[in-house]
């Protein structure tokens, strides 16, 4: 169990030190097949969660004699992403081998890019919660393959220490990745943690808009390593940095950066020094713990990958992809705000909740902006919060739009619709199927309603008398009884109409 280190108060830390952050984001591309093999890509839509070691070919296992072949679509996706990050695209870039032994790395080298990345020198505008725009300098974006996944069995914590044995799943081996590396981000000051979060959120929005990644952080489609260092006020030389890994949600990024600033400040102010190392973020306890020491001299013996030719996209292709770029996130937000007619606060709430894409897609699927906002920001966020997951994992925009349509069409009341949503979250099927299976449809058969009303009126003759005397508000008691008898599956307004009608009969 990772223990909390000594922390300095955040504001005090900022008084003494300037934080400098650098972010490495790995994006799993959602191509149908892997980066260098014809194996199905588990990061593609709908391919998640296959049995271990079933999404593999000899190439994924690094079997003797197997050779990689570059996935052209992954290259196109990478170029699009590079362009969206404001990068230059290299007319010729090369793959390189990064050599190190680890059992999740089938060949014991990773095919990556080293000194010749496909995209470099970018600038990305990132909008903070209050609308402030920060420009983040991008160093490079390069293509590489993901490694397999190790499961350590027998230890108390699922960590390698103390495990009896480990299992390797190579399904993920060879999933196409783009690694985006920022230059050091200066001047963030108190907002450094927020900048880190907003930066990753912006990348998430971009890759979703491009349709090149599922971008589900909880599934590892989007992973962030946060480099943090502090330097005493007035000092030019950068401090020693740590690299915090395993930060798998937007909220965690902000928390992890904040934690590292406070932790490092406490050490530095006590006269200690920061160890250059990777650190692991623990979502549950909100702390980081030491990983392996990392030095700049780590020797991966990079050399150009001799099994692959240089990647040389034509100028025409680059321009074609540039022309097809979607709106940058900030511009998109301005447009949607106008189209939807929300006020500043209403709209900013959606943005800050990270649900803009969901709302947008729900509207695109036919729902009104108001209804889409209501469902995502309301019921879905409430359930997500209770379950400690992202709302987007609970339902799809299409499902929400379908529920909204059922309500609009009078087939569901709001109350029934919430039950349908419960069913959707529980994975019981489409809203229509759930309505059917749970028998949630509004009772629109007047015959059934009338029978219930007549029975209620008969059992409450005093109320009937009052209604007949013109005391219409007395009908409430009968309506309540009828709704109860209908188990809530009736339209209350219609019931009211019918009650008044029957009372006069």
Partner 1 sequence: MSDLTRLSAAELAASLGKGEISSVDATQAHLDRIAAVDGDVHAYLHVNDAALAEASAIDAKRAAGERLPELAGVPVAIKDVLCTIGMPSTAGSRMLEGWVPPYDATVVERMKAAGLIALGKTNMDEFAMGSSTEHSAFGPTRNPWNLERIPGGSGGGSAAAVAAFEAPFALGSDTGGSIRQPAAVTGSVGVKPTYGGVSRYGAIALASSLDQVGPVSRTVLDSALLHDVVGGHDPKDSTSLTGAWPSFAEAARAGRRDGSLKGLRVGVVKQIADGEGFQAGVTQRFRESLELLADAGAEIVEVSAPNFEYAVAAYYLILPAEASSNLAKFDSVRFGLRVTPEGGGTVEQVMAATREAGLGDEVKRRIILGTYALSAGYYDAYYGSAQKVRTLIQQDFSAAFAQADVLVSPAAPTTAFKLGEKLDDPLAMYLNDITTIPANLAGVPGIGLPMGLAPEDGLPVGIQFMAPAREDARLYTVGAALEQLLEDRWGGPLLSQAPDLSASSMLAVSEGAI
Q: Which residues bind partner 1 (CB under 8 A)?
A: 58, 61-70, 97, 99, 101, 103, 106-109, 166, 168, 297, 299, 301-303, 306-309
CA distances from 306 to 69, 109, 147, 309, 310 (A): 12, 13, 20, 7, 10
Q: From the CB of 108, what's the least distance to partner 1, in Å?
A: 4
Q: Least separation, in Å, of the C-beta of 304 and partner 1? A: 9
Q: What is the DSSP letter of 36?
A: S
List Cβ neighbours of 126 (8 Å cut-off, separation of 6 or more): 133, 134, 135, 136, 195, 198, 199, 202
Q: Which is nearer to partner 1, 311 or 363 (CB)?
A: 311
Q: Which is nearer to partner 1, 159 or 484 (CB)?
A: 159
At a CB cut-off of 8 Å and minimum separation 6, what does 107 contact?
A: 62
**Cβ 53 to partner 1 shortest distance, Å:** 10
DSSP 3-state of 428 = coil
Taking the least distance from each CB to partner 1, the nearer of 236 and 299 is 299
Could you give the CA distance from residue 18 to residue 465 in angstroms, rounded to a whole number?
78
User: Distance between CA atoms of 339 and 149, rounded to whole angstroms?
Assistant: 44
Instruction: Supply the minimum distance, in Å, between the C-beta of residue 324 and partner 1.
Output: 27
Distance of closest approach, residue 64 Cβ to partner 1, in angstroms = 4
Rank residues 172 and 223 by Cβ distance to partner 1 and give the closer one. 172
Sheet holding 96-99, edge to edge: 109-112, 96-99, 303-304
Return d(Cα 219, Cα 231) in angstroms, integer: 35
Helix H or strand E segment including 252: helix 250-269
Between β-strands 133-145 and 176-182, what pairing exists: parallel, antiparallel or unpaired? antiparallel
* Cβ nearer to partner 1, comparing 60 with 89: 60
143: nearest Cα among 160, 119, 107, 121: 119
Minimum CB separation from partner 1 for residue 433, in Å?
42
| Least distance CB 383 / partner 1 (angstroms) | 42
| Nearest-approach distance from CB 294 to partner 1, in angstroms | 15
Residue positions counted in the chain: 505
Closest distance of CB 61 from partner 1, Å: 5
166/489 with CB nearer partner 1: 166
- 411 and 369 in contact (C-beta within 8 Å)? no
Rank residues 308 and 405 by Cβ distance to partner 1 and give the closer one: 308
> What is the C-alpha separation between 218 and 416, in angstroms, rounded?
30
Work out how close the CB of 257 gets to partner 1 at its nearest, in angstroms, rounded to a whole number.
30
Angle between helices 461-468 and 475-485 (to 10 degrees): 130
Pick the closer one to partner 1 by CB: 97 or 279.
Answer: 97
Whole-angstrom distance, CA of residue 335 vs CA of residue 148? 41
Please give the Cα distance from 342 to 347 (Å, whole number): 6
């Amino acid at each position: 169990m990772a223990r909390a280190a000594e922390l300095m108060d955040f504001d005090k830390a900022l008084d003494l030190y300037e934080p400098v952050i650098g972010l490495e984001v790995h994006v799993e591309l959602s191509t149908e097949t892997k980066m260098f093999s014809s194996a199905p890509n588990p990061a593609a839509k709908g391919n998640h969660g296959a049995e271990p070691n079933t999404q593999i070919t000899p190439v994924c296992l690094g079997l003797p004699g197997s050779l990689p072949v570059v996935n052209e679509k992954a290259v196109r996706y990478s170029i699009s992403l590079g362009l969206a990050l404001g990068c230059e695209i290299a007319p010729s870039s090369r793959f390189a081998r990064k050599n190190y032994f680890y059992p999740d790395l089938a060949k014991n080298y990773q095919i990556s890019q080293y000194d010749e990345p496909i995209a470099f020198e970018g600038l990305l505008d990132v909008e903070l919660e209050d609308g402030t725009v920060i420009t983040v300098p991008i160093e490079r974006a390069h293509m590489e393959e993901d490694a397999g996944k190790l499961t350590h069995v027998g230890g108390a914590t699922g960590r390698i220490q103390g495990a009896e044995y480990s299992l390797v799943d190579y399904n993920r081996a060879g999933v196409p990745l783009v690694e985006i590396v920022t230059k050091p981000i200066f001047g963030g000051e108190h907002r450094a943690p927020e900048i880190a979060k907003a930066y990753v959120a912006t990348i998430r929005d971009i890759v979703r808009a491009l349709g090149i990644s599922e971008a589900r952080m909880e599934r590892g489609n989007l992973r962030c390593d946060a480099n943090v260092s502090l330097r005493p006020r007035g000092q030019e030389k950068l401090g020693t940095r740590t690299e915090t890994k395993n930060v798998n949600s937007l909220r965690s990024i902000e928390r992890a950066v904040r934690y590292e600033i406070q932790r490092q400040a406490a050490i530095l102010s006590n006269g200690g020094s920061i160890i250059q190392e990777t650190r692991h973020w623990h979502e549950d306890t909100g702390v980081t713990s030491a990983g392996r020491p990392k030095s700049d001299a780590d020797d991966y013996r990079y050399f150009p990958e001799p099994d692959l030719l240089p990647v040389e996209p034509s100028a025409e292709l680059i321009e074609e992809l540039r022309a097809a770029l979607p709106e940058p996130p900030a511009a998109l937000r301005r447009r949607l705000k106008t189209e939807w007619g929300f006020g500043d606060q209403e709209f900013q709430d959606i943005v800050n909740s990270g649900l803009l894409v969901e709302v947008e897609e729900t509207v695109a699927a036919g729902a009104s902006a108001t209804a889409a906002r209501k469902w995502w920001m309301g019921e879905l966020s409430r359930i997500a919060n209770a379950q400690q997951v992202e709302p987007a994992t609970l339902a799809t925009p299409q499902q929400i739009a379908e529920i909204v349509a059922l309500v609009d069409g009078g087939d569901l009341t709001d109350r029934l619709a919430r039950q349908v949503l419960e069913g959707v979250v529980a994975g019981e099927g489409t809203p229509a199927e759930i309505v059917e299976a749970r028998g949630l449809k509004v009772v629109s058969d007047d015959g059934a309603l009338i029978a219930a009303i007549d029975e209620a009126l008969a059992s409450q003759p005093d109320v009937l008398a009052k209604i007949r005397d013109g005391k219409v508000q007395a009908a409430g008691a009968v309506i309540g009884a009828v709704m109860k008898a209908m188990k809530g599956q009736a339209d209350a307004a219609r019931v009211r109409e019918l009650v008044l009608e029957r009372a006069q009969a």
